[in-house]
Structure 1
């Protein structure tokens, strides 16, 4: 579905001027000539006018050589233009900028092109993800999209329902569409595709729903046809293995893991290394999380929670490094992998390394040539392991960390010490800027049921085979976060700035000695990259999830940010921790904000904070047995969107304040599909008894959370 606004009279005049200039043999503006976005452009560290890929270029450093805005004048930043996005909800995307045009994906992968100097809409494309997904499939999906790829005049977007779509960058017209996984499986894509060597690669998510045998697939950018595919975990040995790497990996699994999928989805981390012509994939956690279930007799379970290097031409395995052998805590390695040349020893030459801070709380420096571990140190509180054995590269696990006795409080939590929110690396300062999290999780595997996703009534239910308290809300003060500046050579903290809450967005750094980062509380901040001093800030009126970018048009440097609270932090858990800021469902209009030196525009009015008032009927007394049953149902069906403890973090309506939960007939119409077009899944298989149990659970939560907090 495509719409392109009619050109204005001014635009028609501009086109005529360019046409006449070309006819007269005069040179057209450089933007009209067009930047060829190819291997050469994406390998060039000096080109700063454009932001050509997710991490700006192949290095994934999120470092810009632009310095018009610098530590000495950043206080003069002001709003240059803004764009209201009232139809959007979760905005996590990294915009791309090519020759003065900005491209970005919003909710449900709706894609827009705007003039990067003015914010004028040029075109938009709606892939109609909800329509393609269908009612039941929406159970395993959010509206999130973390970005898109650009290659030689083409854009490639990925949709939550698993399609990869090629678009003409000039017009937004669809060129091709490819379904990347079996639509009958509860898989989804929320990450960004990565373009390289005339190919585009994408992974997917779904380990939490029992369907996942992780894989990545590469397609030809011109046609969308499959070029190669690599499986992260081996399939059923009786079916034979696709290649030698799968046969090797199978030796590290036990039991009948293939019946559970195995996991290992590559839902975020993708880096192309042109110097070794390899694609690096950061692989996901086990499916289900609990190794006792998927691989009962132990084993490392390759290639879960690993960095795997593949030949970029063929997709064949080259090497791997596994951060968490036999993973059992959701400590995936799908975080960004940054390429850098570091001088690790005095007097020694630079070494080609990758920098990686996965969920597990350690920071890794790894040789890109062969995957050899060069160093690893803790960046946060870690109790599951005491350190990393440098001889073997394996973690030194703490006794009891695998909840062998049935229950264990472990740091970090399933959110990780560092989640998908992008870190950045500044070659001038030599520091990596990491959005760090400090939060524990209580793992309990006694009496946990196993879900068969193939049964229609279980499709889209969470299947992790361990209890982490999804039936209860995370207290407001349970965790903290910070912006951590880390020296990868010394493997030491350089500086650290405390942040509110336990969830903070990605970073971007520049040659002007600046680090930019948004925060959950709605503050967008510029720090001095050398010492962490706050130099500039602005409140944007809503929570921030996306990382910023910077670029220049006509010699003027801009800094842009999508504002729209979203992602797992607000939808899977910790509702009250997020809701305390007033980022309630539908409360604030989403925005694209762009700043420049001496920008004079006032900040847009996006709407006031919204604080939920739970409905507590005087004549409704929850039944404890029904509450217990409803808690289990809620954790398996509702928590994905409405958040833990029935306390919404803003992604979906807060059910404690919904009159729908008092009217079971109206609730039934919703569960049968009345709100599918708004992203509400169908649950026709829930019985009337199920609805009563959910009603009692939600009402009990409304009563508990409406009580004043004791002193």
Structure 2
């Protein structure tokens, strides 16, 4: 079986070599396999021609979008003005490209010289004619779907890097590829994962940092030990690797920074659990200062009582690191949450800008991480400049002089004081969705979630499972929390009296979940305007332009345009697909386009809300482009109402077997199987007789692995699988009786 597939469209290559222009109603059909050997009419160096000088002068080429955030500062702001406050009412459909996938799309495309490069599910890559959407080539890394056991949050990918004729992408299973930008041919690939028995995956975009390409990894909900790796641009040879947290000090340290970090951990920490810190996003390079900034992740084992019993700050969890990319050595670090225990990652997108602070222009780094505070740091020295909360916060506060996080133990330490309602939730006040900074308004536009979570440690001690989920806690937020607070009888036994008495919510912010686009003044540290979206899980990236506009999508399938100064809604397009990714804009032949990828996924990917476009229309992956005087946007057909649940098999298992199956399902299956008829994954209450008969072969034998269902025979024995099936039969009977 091929490990990766390149599909090229010879006709599109000929079109690209001649002229770019026109628009189409859909992407062109793929070329037959015989076209793979076709030679492009233009030389390879004409494609993907981005280098340091061109990137530093990005504003001189407003028609291009050369990084995931357009410029090296990742502002997600464009100088283009053809689409503006006066003309945006004319914005309409230009073209679409269908990825033929049904999982989340999170990437922001790159456009250079009329060619669009973007990534899709699991690290697929698409090169398109940016004027028409015609496919030039497509690349599929053909991952081993066993890796999906190790993903917390879908099979997503957040983008590519384009540099000097190459396109770099990481596949979900942790391979890093360099592709020829003209043809999609693999120039080199390398495995970035140091230990495949642990819970590693890769979902972030590579970052070009001087003479190396850098990539991180994910897996802190499992047992990964986070690190970033740097590779030679032309060969893929490993240049250096920086670990985020130490390993067992008895085994020595891979680099000197870890000796410093180890002093902030209990010597008897649960080292075998990896301990997390995975830098799954927020890699950004400053070519002016030659510094690579790395936002690090949460702890593996959320409760410090389990992972580092004596406490400690646990460096370099939830930190921003400044690394010299030539040497891999640390220049400075800033930790946001000492001893993180709530999944408050610092992996959220970072923006580099020059701001006038107290009469002095400072080179700053801005970030709105999960913990609810908006940070401004001097990016040259790491000096703390300010932090103001942009959402309600209860876990603690930030010292206004030093920037150190001060934890309110009584209010938020569930390990010592029992279940707690903590703000923000593990979704974060802001997650991976890119925010945008407009130098014209001076505002940062933040995709925001106001939400709390109930969190507790049900076991008081963790049974570590290698390569599997190891948070060690129970947490509830969003719709589950709302339902539980409204009806305490639906809550776990440990929480019912706390809810009835009001003790759980006393003195806390309103626990109702809200999704908002928030315009934030970073200097004043306050909200200027906000727009509340309909869905509690809404969280899509933002785009700002010199046309005085902000673009933003939502879960309902609305693509909205606001006045950047005051938040007035100027345009609302129903696209029929859930949008999470950040829009971007570019120009071809004098025409400005706005493009966005659309498909539901990420955290909670299997639980698409019934009001969402993904639930109502399905979740086919789409890349949509708009322009002035375009047409009506086509929408997928509405899905039919689900068939009634069929009569399940007879319920013969004993109650204790069903209870065991419920526990095993919660440990191993619930992340992917939400039991929603309109979700991207199968509703297992509707299994037919053949699926019941083949259940063990599917679950333990890997019969459906090629379709994305991993094999579990190393974790579950035959009795375990049968217990899970018994639990599913019970759920099926409950639903069958309820519908009748």
TM-score by length of 2: 0.86
**Structure 2 counterpart SS, 1:300:** coil
Residues 548, 397 of structure 1: alpha-carbon distance in 2 compared, 3 angstrom cutoff: same
Question: How far 1:690 moved relative to its partner?
Answer: 2.2
Residues 512, 703 of structure 1: alpha-carbon distance in 2 compared, 3 angstrom cutoff: farther
TM alignment of 1:13-24, pairs within 5 A? 14=18
- CA distance in structure 2 between the aligned counterparts of 1:134 and 1:560, rounded to whole angstroms: 30
Q: Deviations over 1:581-637 (max 9, x none)?
A: 36249934321111001112x423423146656737476488654444333212221
- Please state if 1:391 is matched with 2:405: no
Q: Which moved more, 1:260-269 or 1:38-47?
A: 38-47
Partner of 1:43: 56
Q: Match for 2:119 among 105, 110, 115?
A: 105
- Please state if 1:241 is matched with 2:253: yes
Partner of 2:217: 204
Residues 332, 439 of structure 1: alpha-carbon distance in 2 compared, 3 angstrom cutoff: same
- CA distance in structure 1 between the aligned counterparts of 2:334 and 2:446, rounded to whole angstroms: 21
Is the CA contact 1:49–1:551 (under 8 Å) kept in the aligned structure 2? yes
- Please state if 1:6 is matched with 2:3: no
- CA distance in structure 2 between the aligned counterparts of 1:191 and 1:9, rounded to whole angstroms: 29
Is the CA contact 2:218–2:280 (under 8 Å) kept in the aligned structure 1? yes
Residues 31, 140 of structure 1: alpha-carbon distance in 2 compared, 3 angstrom cutoff: closer
Q: Match for 1:530 among 560, 565, 573?
A: 565
Q: Deviations over 1:144-201 (max 9, x none)?
A: 1111100111000100011000000011111000100133332000111111313111
Q: Which moved more, 1:42-51 or 1:622-631?
A: 622-631
**Structure 2 counterpart SS, 1:262:** coil
- Please state if 1:563 is matched with 2:573: no
Residues 30, 186 of structure 1: alpha-carbon distance in 2 compared, 3 angstrom cutoff: closer
- CA distance in structure 1 between the aligned counterparts of 2:11 and 2:700, rounded to whole angstroms: 44
Question: How far 1:29 moved relative to its partner?
Answer: 12
- CA distance in structure 1 between the aligned counterparts of 2:406 and 2:478, rounded to whole angstroms: 32
Q: Which moved more, 1:216-225 or 1:461-470?
A: 461-470
- Please state if 1:490 is matched with 2:505: no
- CA distance in structure 2 between the aligned counterparts of 1:613 and 1:624, rounded to whole angstroms: 29
Residues 447, 533 of structure 1: alpha-carbon distance in 2 compared, 3 angstrom cutoff: same
- Please state if 1:663 is matched with 2:674: no
**Structure 1 counterpart SS, 2:234:** coil
TM alignment of 1:397-408, pairs within 5 A? 397-398=407-408, 399-403=410-414, 404-408=416-420
Residues 35, 628 of structure 1: alpha-carbon distance in 2 compared, 3 angstrom cutoff: closer
Question: How far 1:33 moved relative to its partner?
Answer: 6.0
- Please state if 1:96 is matched with 2:110: yes
Q: Match for 1:546 among 578, 581, 584?
A: 581
Residues 275, 368 of structure 1: alpha-carbon distance in 2 compared, 3 angstrom cutoff: same
- Please state if 1:435 is matched with 2:454: no
Is the CA contact 1:479–1:501 (under 8 Å) kept in the aligned structure 2? no
Long gaps (5+) in structure 1: 16-27
- CA distance in structure 1 between the aligned counterparts of 2:379 and 2:208, rounded to whole angstroms: 20
Residues 344, 701 of structure 1: alpha-carbon distance in 2 compared, 3 angstrom cutoff: farther
Q: Match for 1:444 among 435, 448, 456?
A: 456
**Structure 2 counterpart SS, 1:208:** coil
- CA distance in structure 1 between the aligned counterparts of 2:478 and 2:579, rounded to whole angstroms: 26
Long gaps (5+) in structure 2: 20-40, 487-511
Q: Which moved more, 1:175-184 or 1:160-169?
A: 175-184
- CA distance in structure 2 between the aligned counterparts of 1:660 and 1:501, rounded to whole angstroms: 36
**Structure 2 counterpart SS, 1:639:** coil
Q: Deviations over 1:347-387 (max 9, x none)?
A: x12111111111111111111122121111111121111x2
Partner of 1:22: none
- Please state if 1:327 is matched with 2:358: no
Q: Which moved more, 1:679-688 or 1:193-202?
A: 679-688
Q: Match for 1:185 among 172, 176, 198?
A: 198
Question: How far 1:250 moved relative to its partner?
Answer: 0.4
**Structure 2 counterpart SS, 1:691:** helix
Q: Which moved more, 1:515-524 or 1:194-203?
A: 194-203
CA RMSD of aligned residues (A): 2.8
Partner of 1:676: 705
- Please state if 1:514 is matched with 2:555: no
Q: Match for 1:590 among 621, 635, 638?
A: 621
**Structure 2 counterpart SS, 1:170:** coil
Q: Match for 1:379 among 390, 396, 406?
A: 390
- CA distance in structure 2 between the aligned counterparts of 1:259 and 1:9, rounded to whole angstroms: 51
Is the CA contact 1:39–1:196 (under 8 Å) kept in the aligned structure 2? no
Q: Match for 2:423 among 402, 405, 411?
A: 411
**Structure 2 counterpart SS, 1:608:** coil
Is the CA contact 1:429–1:530 (under 8 Å) kept in the aligned structure 2? yes
Is the CA contact 2:45–2:164 (under 8 Å) kept in the aligned structure 1? no
- CA distance in structure 2 between the aligned counterparts of 1:523 and 1:621, rounded to whole angstroms: 47
Partner of 1:154: 166
- CA distance in structure 1 between the aligned counterparts of 2:482 and 2:693, rounded to whole angstroms: 30
Is the CA contact 1:582–1:610 (under 8 Å) kept in the aligned structure 2? no
Is the CA contact 2:48–2:162 (under 8 Å) kept in the aligned structure 1? no
Q: Deviations over 1:44-76 (max 9, x none)?
A: 341321111111121011111111111111111
**Structure 2 counterpart SS, 1:674:** coil
- CA distance in structure 2 between the aligned counterparts of 1:258 and 1:181, rounded to whole angstroms: 18
Is the CA contact 1:541–1:606 (under 8 Å) kept in the aligned structure 2? yes
Question: How far 1:662 moved relative to its partner?
Answer: 7.2
- CA distance in structure 1 between the aligned counterparts of 2:166 and 2:323, rounded to whole angstroms: 24
Partner of 1:351: 362
Partner of 2:377: 366
Q: Match for 1:121 among 126, 130, 135?
A: 135
Question: How far 1:667 moved relative to its partner?
Answer: 4.9
Is the CA contact 1:642–1:651 (under 8 Å) kept in the aligned structure 2? no
Question: How far 1:687 moved relative to its partner?
Answer: 2.9
- CA distance in structure 1 between the aligned counterparts of 2:478 and 2:735, rounded to whole angstroms: 14
Question: How far 1:302 moved relative to its partner?
Answer: 0.2
TM alignment of 1:214-363, pairs within 5 A? 214-254=226-266, 255-345=268-358, 348-363=359-374
**Structure 2 counterpart SS, 1:693:** helix
Is the CA contact 2:12–2:136 (under 8 Å) kept in the aligned structure 1? no
